[in-house]
Structure 1
Amino acid sequence: MVTGMSATGWAEHVVWWHLHPLSFLGAPRNAPPDGTPAQPRLRNLEPWLDYLVELGCNGLALGPVFASESHGYDTVDHYRVDPRLGTEDDLRRLIDECHRRGVRVLLDGVFNHVGRGFGPFRDVLARGRDSAYTSWFRLSFDGGLDYADFEGHRNLVALNHDEPAVAEYVAGVMRHWLDFGADGWRLDAAYAVPLPFWRDTAGRIPGGWFVGEVIHGDYPAWIRDGGLDSVTQYELWKAIRSSLNDLNFYELSWALQRHDEFSRDFAPMTFAGNHDVTRLASALSDRRHLGLALAVLFTVAGVPSVYAGDEQAFQGVKREAEFGDDDIRPPFPPAPGDLAPYGWPTYRLHEQLIGLRRRHPWLHRARTRPLHLANKQFAYESVSVDGAHRLVVLLNAADHGHDFALDTAPLRTVLSHDGAADATFVPGPGWSILEPV
């Protein structure tokens, strides 16, 4: 039995709007020379706070904001705000403005690896074997200094998570920024870190919500053995996209069975896009399926997250090359009113679906049950844990309409892609969400 349910009750009601601050705010690609005055770019997020609230979100999930060498995931000082984004005062102002609107703030903690300019590693480079920090890293001095890195990226130096001083340092960072006002942490590359390390750091810190970036594997282990509150639900993310592209809803049905197993004990972080993957609008072979993907995201259990720009149907392809994230992490305009007009219908769709979820908070821990399953059509019901509430979701990925002959009590349409009132007939491609009469 997994026993890692979060003590932070607000997590049951949060919907995150997630962004990568350095790219969102148009910061330079590389950190400026030491002594360069900080640029208060974080203040430029303030016009977007009302935008995310109007969208229906009540959480701001920030990518890295701490001093780094380039993209933020090569941290050099976890206690200092990146000068390309501003100062500690600018971060405090942003958190205060969020809290004033009832918006929670999630920070991005990069604790698997650090940049080469990280103070303890600089000391190793300068002093070699005589450094007091040799135990902080996985080093070899045979034939010169060598070190373990993160997935072959030599500018990302892997920390030694068996070293107690590293655990003490990371726990100190987490506590510091939670005390500062942050509400929780996304733990980058949590899958690459031994579970006991998370248990000894995040697992022992009260008052925050901790979600680990986990791509595959035994998700509940990060809760049970790692002491985290949640993990990223990449299995569901993958199934949503590929089931639509392959016209194979059997994959999604299987993934929802797995999702139900996870959701019995914790609420995974669910998403249709994030800062590391091709944009949803570009990933779907048929962009008319975008509404079907979102209907799933907002009607199954979990803690949903919307990647900034996906709600405007931004396009962008992730490339496995240098600067391959540029297309999926573009700079945003100064204010929401400067966005292109073509994206607002997708924004309104997000508003409607998030609003539906707000009216049915039991979806946070819902169970799903398939009612009709074929390659191009899928109907499932989401049911509250106590069985008192339910919604029925109809997905039709075909080009033609489909009448779902469901053996259920009478249903009425509460939301559909075309506003149609016919409860069981769904034009193709399209979706509909129903509830008992």
Structure 2
Amino acid sequence: MSWYEESVVYQVYPLGLCGAPHQNDGASEPERRLRRLIDDGWVGHMSRLGASCLMLNPVFQSSSHGYDTIDYLTLDRRLGTNDDLRALVDACHEAGIKVLLDAVLNHVGRDFWAFRDVLQNREASPYAGWFNIDWGGNDEWDDGLSYECWQGVPYLVKLNHSDFALNDYLADVIRQWEREFDVDGLRLDVAYCLDRGYLAYLRRIANELTEARRGRLGERDAEFVLVGETMFGDYRQWMGDELCHSVTNYEAYKGLWSSLNAANMHEVAYALERQSGSHPWDLYTGRHLLNFVDNHDVPRIATRLDDPRQLPALYGLLFAMPGVPCVYYGSEWGVEGEQHFGDYELRPALDAPEWNDLTSWVASLAACRRPGHPGAEALAWGDYAQLDCQPRQLLFQRQSEHERLIVAVNAADEPHTFHFDARCGRAVDVITGEDHDFGGGSEVPPLGVRYWLCER
């Protein structure tokens, strides 16, 4: 058990939120935009919301969107200096918030210093083995060579992880991130592109850092966590005791919004049972996947949902399902954004955090996951058992060693009464603190959610 399994994650795309130019001019003095997360109240907002972990998308020197790295060790000049990143991490830690950095280890930008050396010195470069080069080829820049790139994007140069010198360099980068910035783990960009051998190597580095942190932070808080970005397929390819601690749960993401739009709750119910049920064939029971309803790569959930009135019900389901919930900045008050080329609308500049009824609702859900809160143990560690599923309703149980919680979701715009054997007479809704009597049926209001903590 570590801090991660009981966490609520808040995701920020800093280049977007802080209003950085879309391109790095490579010459200007650092602009200390990252400080806005402290000065404009974002750290306080995260704390009030109930987030216990900040996941930062790329912050290091890059040519444009952050995923075309130039320098792994220097904060992007559009965001400030390394001191600004350390100040943000310190402010988060003071507020009880862990920090994950986005580690882009599958590819770099064409202006990455080692690739520039290869372009200049060709086969004589000591870094030639860091990339998969065809010395007899050519590219659109007439470099007199060609190279493997990520998914056909020519300005994202694929790294060759069969080169041990490259892997040792990146391991030292990770060690320096932890040492200089005191971060608590990494999001591994496109982890589905990294082979298991390299992921196992990264896990050994993470374990090494965990061991070094244990004396200072204690058993629960020492874990240096790896969260891999994965899409579809069997997540056990990238997640396990010797691989990533956790992965992004795109399978459930699709079911979450699609089930509501199609009035087909069976879709997400199937995914939850398949992932976390008690049958021998269920895939990830006991694992803590990172769950979300939107992020920097997909449309904002307030845009994706056909009926935004269902947002409270959707967030209620997100926070109740097995795994770790993640909220993308601004979506907690209903920021909209459609996906277009460049994804700029998904990653907007925001002056300061806002607060409305939806934000208050998300905060009340996050409070239920705070360690020590009634129901928190069941939500973090409980098993999953489906009790009822209808086109717009889902009823399931999360049972841990000491708690049994029944979750009722009603995505319809009229009340719904669930009739089922609760195995007890009374409960308390841990969201509102209201008592509940299971006798005669259990009504849930339109677009409502209940977390009933059973008396036994």
Q: Same fold (TM over 0.5)?
A: yes
Question: 1:263 Cα deviation (Å)?
Answer: 4.5
The answer to whether the 8 Å contact 1:263/1:302 transfers is no
Match of 1:406 among 420, 445, 454: 420
Question: 1:91 Cα deviation (Å)?
Answer: 1.1
Specify the alignment match of 1:31 in structure 2: 24
Instruction: Summarize the alignment of residues 341-380 of structure 1 with structure 2, pairs less than 5 Å apart.
Output: 344-358=356-370, 359=373, 360-362=375-377, 363-380=379-396
Aligned pair count? 418
CA distance in 2 between counterparts of 1:279 and 1:433 reads: 26
The answer to whether the 8 Å contact 1:300/1:366 transfers is no
Instruction: Name the SS for the 2:258 alignment partner.
Output: helix
TM-score (norm 1): 0.91
Residue 103 of structure 1 aligns with an amino acid whose one-letter code is I
Specify the alignment match of 1:43 in structure 2: 35
Instruction: Summarize the alignment of residues 255-266 of structure 1 with structure 2, pairs less than 5 Å apart.
Output: 255-260=271-276, 261-266=282-287
Q: 1:91 and 2:85 equivalent?
A: yes
What stretches of structure 1 move > 4 A for 4+ residues in a row?
419-423
Report the CA distance shift for 1:317/1:411 in structure 2 as closer, same or farther (over 3 A): farther
Structure 1 unmatched ranges of 5 or more: 1-5
CA deviations on 1:258-277 (whole Å, 9 max, x unpaired) are 23145534211111211111
Report the CA distance shift for 1:404/1:262 in structure 2 as closer, same or farther (over 3 A): same
Question: 1:122 Cα deviation (Å)?
Answer: 0.6
Residue 24 of structure 2 aligns with an amino acid whose one-letter code is A
Instruction: Summarize the alignment of residues 308-347 of structure 1 with structure 2, pairs less than 5 Å apart.
Output: 308-319=329-340, 321=341, 323=342, 325-333=343-351, 335-336=352-353, 339=354, 344-347=356-359
Question: 1:371 Cα deviation (Å)?
Answer: 0.9
Report the CA distance shift for 1:287/1:83 in structure 2 as closer, same or farther (over 3 A): same
CA deviations on 1:362-386 (whole Å, 9 max, x unpaired) are 22222111111122222111111x3
Q: 1:229 and 2:245 equivalent?
A: yes
CA distance in 1 between counterparts of 2:98 and 2:173 reads: 19
Instruction: Name the SS for the 1:223 alignment partner.
Output: coil
Instruction: Name the SS for the 1:298 alignment partner.
Output: helix
Question: 1:115 Cα deviation (Å)?
Answer: 0.5
The answer to whether the 8 Å contact 2:68/2:107 transfers is yes
Identity %: 37
Specify the alignment match of 1:284 in structure 2: 305
Q: 1:397 and 2:411 equivalent?
A: yes
CA distance in 1 between counterparts of 2:263 and 2:58 reads: 36
CA distance in 1 between counterparts of 2:21 and 2:312 reads: 35
CA distance in 2 between counterparts of 1:75 and 1:369 reads: 44
CA distance in 1 between counterparts of 2:62 and 2:426 reads: 54
Report the CA distance shift for 1:380/1:243 in structure 2 as closer, same or farther (over 3 A): same
CA distance in 2 between counterparts of 1:304 and 1:110 reads: 22
Instruction: Name the SS for the 1:205 alignment partner.
Output: helix
Match of 2:111 among 117, 120, 126: 117
Report the CA distance shift for 1:404/1:225 in structure 2 as closer, same or farther (over 3 A): closer
Specify the alignment match of 1:3 in structure 2: none
Structure 2 unmatched ranges of 5 or more: 139-144, 211-223, 277-281
The answer to whether the 8 Å contact 1:135/1:160 transfers is yes
CA distance in 1 between counterparts of 2:317 and 2:411 reads: 13
Report the CA distance shift for 1:246/1:20 in structure 2 as closer, same or farther (over 3 A): same
Specify the alignment match of 2:54 in structure 1: 60
The answer to whether the 8 Å contact 1:170/1:201 transfers is no
Specify the alignment match of 2:168 in structure 1: 168
The answer to whether the 8 Å contact 1:212/1:231 transfers is yes
CA deviations on 1:28-60 (whole Å, 9 max, x unpaired) are 1111233x2111111111021111000011211
